[in-house]
Structure 1
Amino acid sequence: MESSANLTAEQALTDSLLPSSSAYSGFPYLEAVIGFMICMYFFETYLDLRQHKILALPTLPATLKGVVSDEKFGKARAYSLDKSRFHFVHACFNILEEGAILSFGLLPYFWMKCGVLLENWGFNPENEILRTLAFLGATTVWTQQTVWLFFKDMILAMLLMVVLGPPIVSAIIYLVQKGGPYLALYLWGFMLVLSLGMMAIYPVLIARLFNKFTPLPEGELRAKIEKLASLLKFPLKKLFVIDGSTRSSHSNVS
């Protein structure tokens, strides 16, 4: 009897946290969003198919003759075709994944469960900051297992989100709650400061977690870069070679 009463109480709390149907108008917003996503998918796929046909042409374009060798053109063409084929699979998977998330209401489900969890822990489920942080934690754990097993970069990105996400989200929610008529101005100022701060922090701290930075050795390349920077009056202080080729075969980044 006691477990049944607890289950009933939890169900009542769950129902109270779910938005009522009367809160929405008669317009089918969810169906409209999913329909728009599907239309955009087919339109973009049509454009990608046209581009794929161009990439499949075996002859070197006239504008590139004498500039690119046949060997380099063949390698670039093969790479572009492989990338295009993978893009079709990736886009199809994405539309199925996003459609399933919206159709089955996975994000509202996690949001609702976070409210129940906060209530069980003695917190106020109406506190938007606590509930948002719990929601971010739940969705992170949801994808953590696969990420932890296979993708080092995704692990680092997830850890960065855990460290940087809560204070940023908390600040945004606080501004939304207290902003009043000047909310847009406050949010603009906050995002401006955040963007400038991230521009300064990213190359110094964050990028080094994902790539190896090696000082560019003395030589002809360094001399030409320094000469160009001097000509343009660019305040060049340091030059590094980044091991971008470990993640892409396009080129290395310097």
Structure 2
Amino acid sequence: MAFPYLEAVLGESYWFREGFRVSLIAGFMIFMYFFETYLDIRQHAALKLTNLPKPLEGVISQEKFERARAYSIDKSCFHFIHEAVTILMDTAILCFGILPWFWKVSGNLVAYLGLDAENEIMHTLSFLAGVMIWSQLPDGELREKIEKLAASLKFPLKKLFVVDGSTRSSHSNAYMYGFFNNKRIVLYDTLIQQCTNEEEVVAVIAHELGHWKLNHTMYSFIAVQHTVIPLQHLVNFGLNLVSRTFEFQADAFAKKLGYAKALCAGLIKLQEENLSAMNTDPWYSAYHYSHPPLVERLAAIEEPDSKKED
């Protein structure tokens, strides 16, 4: 029982019956499914738009736009099917008590093997989906530029790595990790391949260093990541709002360092290569996206500083 003391006091009160609690959770899950499906329908309609957003006209070719559009529509169609199957499975698991049944069967199996069925610590085997191949970023102009940028910001860079991501997908990224004065920067090899010049790669690193300089990592670590089911969606929405604000701030930081043009070029290149959606529904992106849409980021970067001060 979830509330043994209250149930002992209130007896067989309907409000504390297991069936009611299950129905309440299932009802909330179904409500959120229909709400998010409504947002998905809005986004699907935006993906079907055949025209590039005006800020991207002349910047991204029609061919690449069509490729990204077709890819996004296919993903959207699959998403509808995936979510429908997921809500059916989750509701069935919850309403028919499949997990408690499976827990009981697992206990019987442990007992059958002659082990202690009361021991809740179960050892399971985990398999890695893939192995990342790491290597040091070779000496050269790119390494020198990144090290110079890190030194100018007093970032305690100890090592620069390149990770092999191209053997799995074309997704590109860069990130940093480490504690105190022992930090590393990791570049996906796809990022280096997709950017047209080293300045664009350095601009992406400047953005990531903006997260560090502005203490975004610490704030994100402190922020609550998980909560009870009824509040989880609201919390995630709030975290996305904070995350998008951080992204704008990190872009502004890179712009302040003189990388505005290179950052715009790098963001556009990543958008093209990752086949990300060019047209986004504002409601959908506000609810789902942890990063602002490309059009909004470009507009913020290109906005004159004097206008912001006014």
User: What TM-score range do you get, normalising by the shorter chain?
Assistant: 0.5 to 0.7
CA RMSD of aligned residues (A): 3.0
Distance in 1 (alpha carbons) for counterparts of 2:23 and 2:89: 16
Structure 2 equivalent of residue 45 of structure 1: 37
Question: Structure 1-normalised TM-score?
Answer: 0.54
Task: Identify the range of structure 1 (240-249 vs 27-36) with the bigger mean alpha-carbon deviation.
Answer: 240-249
Structure 1 equivalent of residue 65 of structure 2: 73
Structure 2 residue matching 1:39: 3-state secondary structure: helix
Alignment match of 2:150 (pick from 221, 229, 234): 229
Structure 1 equivalent of residue 94 of structure 2: 102
Which structure has the bigger radius of gyration? 1
Shift of 1:58: 1.1
What 5-or-longer segments of structure 1 have no aligned partner? 1-20, 141-153, 158-208
**Counterpart AA for 2:62:** D
User: Cα distance 1:50–1:211, how it changes in 2: closer, same or farther (>3 A)?
Assistant: same
What 5-or-longer segments of structure 2 have no aligned partner? 1-10, 175-186, 188-310
Distance in 2 (alpha carbons) for counterparts of 1:87 and 1:246: 25
Alignment match of 1:243 (pick from 148, 164, 168): 164
Shift of 1:38: 1.1
Could you say which structure has the higher strand fraction?
A: 2
The 5 Å alignment of 1:174-189 reads none
Shift of 1:252: 5.4
In 2, are the aligned partners of 1:245 and 1:252 still within 8 Å (CA)?
no
The 5 Å alignment of 1:103-118 reads 103-117=95-109
The 5 Å alignment of 1:1-254 reads 25-26=16-17, 28-117=20-109, 121=114, 123=116, 125=118, 130-131=119-120, 133-134=121-122, 137=124, 155-156=127-128, 210-251=131-172, 253=174, 254=187
In 1, are the aligned partners of 2:93 and 2:99 still within 8 Å (CA)?
yes
Question: Structure 2-normalised TM-score?
Answer: 0.45
Distance in 2 (alpha carbons) for counterparts of 1:93 and 1:246: 30
Give the number of the structure with larger relative contact order, counting CA–CA contacts within 8 Å between residues 6 or more apart: 2
Shift of 1:59: 0.8
In 2, are the aligned partners of 1:55 and 1:80 still within 8 Å (CA)?
yes
In 1, are the aligned partners of 2:150 and 2:156 still within 8 Å (CA)?
yes
User: Cα distance 1:218–1:68, how it changes in 2: closer, same or farther (>3 A)?
Assistant: farther
In 1, are the aligned partners of 2:47 and 2:72 still within 8 Å (CA)?
yes
Distance in 1 (alpha carbons) for counterparts of 2:145 and 2:82: 40
Shift of 1:75: 2.4
In 1, are the aligned partners of 2:134 and 2:163 still within 8 Å (CA)?
yes
Structure 2 equivalent of residue 203 of structure 1: none
Structure 2 equivalent of residue 191 of structure 1: none
Shift of 1:45: 1.0
**Counterpart AA for 1:229:** A
In 1, are the aligned partners of 2:137 and 2:160 still within 8 Å (CA)?
yes
Shift of 1:69: 2.7
The Cα offsets for residues 32-87 of structure 1, whole Å up to 9 and x where unpaired, read as 11111111111101101111111111111111123323233222222222222222
**Counterpart AA for 1:91:** E
**Counterpart AA for 1:73:** F
**Counterpart AA for 1:84:** S
Count of aligned positions: 162
User: Cα distance 1:245–1:46, how it changes in 2: closer, same or farther (>3 A)?
Assistant: farther
In 1, are the aligned partners of 2:137 and 2:143 still within 8 Å (CA)?
yes
**Counterpart AA for 2:75:** K
User: Cα distance 1:78–1:225, how it changes in 2: closer, same or farther (>3 A)?
Assistant: farther
**Counterpart AA for 1:123:** D
Shift of 1:212: 1.4
The Cα offsets for residues 17-36 of structure 1, whole Å up to 9 and x where unpaired, read as xxxx9698236111111111
Could you say which structure has the higher helix fraction?
A: 1
In 1, are the aligned partners of 2:108 and 2:117 still within 8 Å (CA)?
no
Structure 1 equivalent of residue 178 of structure 2: none
**Counterpart AA for 1:155:** F
